[in-house]
A and B are shown apart, each in its own frame.
Chain A
Amino acid sequence: MSVTVDARGLSCPQPVLMTMNEIKGGSEKEIKVLVDSEASRENVSRAAVSQGCQIVDTTQDGEEYTILLTRD
């Protein structure tokens, strides 16, 4: 099972903070993060990796990105 963090329409640092809250407080192994800018994709990915998560997949649909993370 995965949980979805929908951070579309938000500017940094909010997508990062929503992702961090899920990493720290959630229990699902997989986290799907939705963002709508390249900068947010980079920042969320960087923050997740710094927390020990792995980026399993990143897909782009127009200006939207879906980042699939797993926590150890």
Chain B
Amino acid sequence: MLIRRLLSRFKRQESRKDRDDLGILVFANTSEVIQAERVLKNGGWPVRVMGPPPGIQSGCDLVIEFPLMEELHLQRLLTDAGIPPLEVVPVNDPLLKPVDLFHTKDFGGYLMIRAANMKLTVDKESLVIVNVSGGGCPDVPYLAGLMVGQTLMDTPSPGTMGHTLCGYALKLALEEMERQCLP
């Protein structure tokens, strides 16, 4: 019992320590977040796109979580790429949520994947996208119009066309669908 309690306390401290070592990069809009994620991942940096904590008022509805120790390297890389962040903030809010949590539902002939607030549904046999829903962002009807009726192989990527959290979440759902459905 005592060992379990000590272990639990140790885990809590480790978890807090991990969080203290992280920071978030805040950008003006989602397009910049997507570009920055690409630049940083291509550079081999372990970053994740997250929903921002409630305390962050500026910027868009996504942020990039990064190892705080690497702040100067990442700032320089992003400034050189023409996308300097608006703000760099140490992470201390437990409500920060990753965007790339997937929920998969099998409807028999159809497979649905939800990423954050967006749902993508595909006909398993033909791999044709039959539905794009969720969100509430202004670009969702546009993205749905481009994607519904296309196959997974032919659909344009919402990552290059969308400019909102919905577009980003849809890009993640498409990538997960491709991972699950394509050889």
Contact = CB atoms under 8 A, between A and B. Distances in A.
A65 to B, nearest CB: 15
B131 A12 contact: yes
The 6 closest A-B pairs by CB, nearest first: A50-B149, A12-B133, A13-B131, A13-B121, A16-B131, A46-B148
Interface string A20-61: 110000000000000000010011001101110000000000
A12 B121 CA distance: 9
A40 B131 CA distance: 10
A3 interface: no
B145 interface: yes
Given A43-B131, A43-B133, A47-B131, A13 B110 contact: yes
Contact of B148 (A14, A17, A21, A47): A47
Nearest to A12: B133
Contacts of B110: 13, 17, 20
Contacts of B121: 13, 16-17
Given A43-B144, A47-B148, A20 B133 contact: no
The prevalent SS among residues of B at the interface is strand
Given A13-B121, A17-B121, A47-B148, A42 B141 contact: yes
A13 B123 contact: no
A18 to B, nearest CB: 10
A51 B126 CA distance: 12
A17 B107 CA distance: 9
B145 A46 contact: yes
Nearest to A16: B131
Contacts of A49: 149
A39 B123 CA distance: 20
A20 B110 CA distance: 10
Contacts of A47: 130-131, 148-149
A4 to B, nearest CB: 20
A12 B110 CA distance: 13
A41 B27 CA distance: 35
Interface string B132-144: 1110000001001
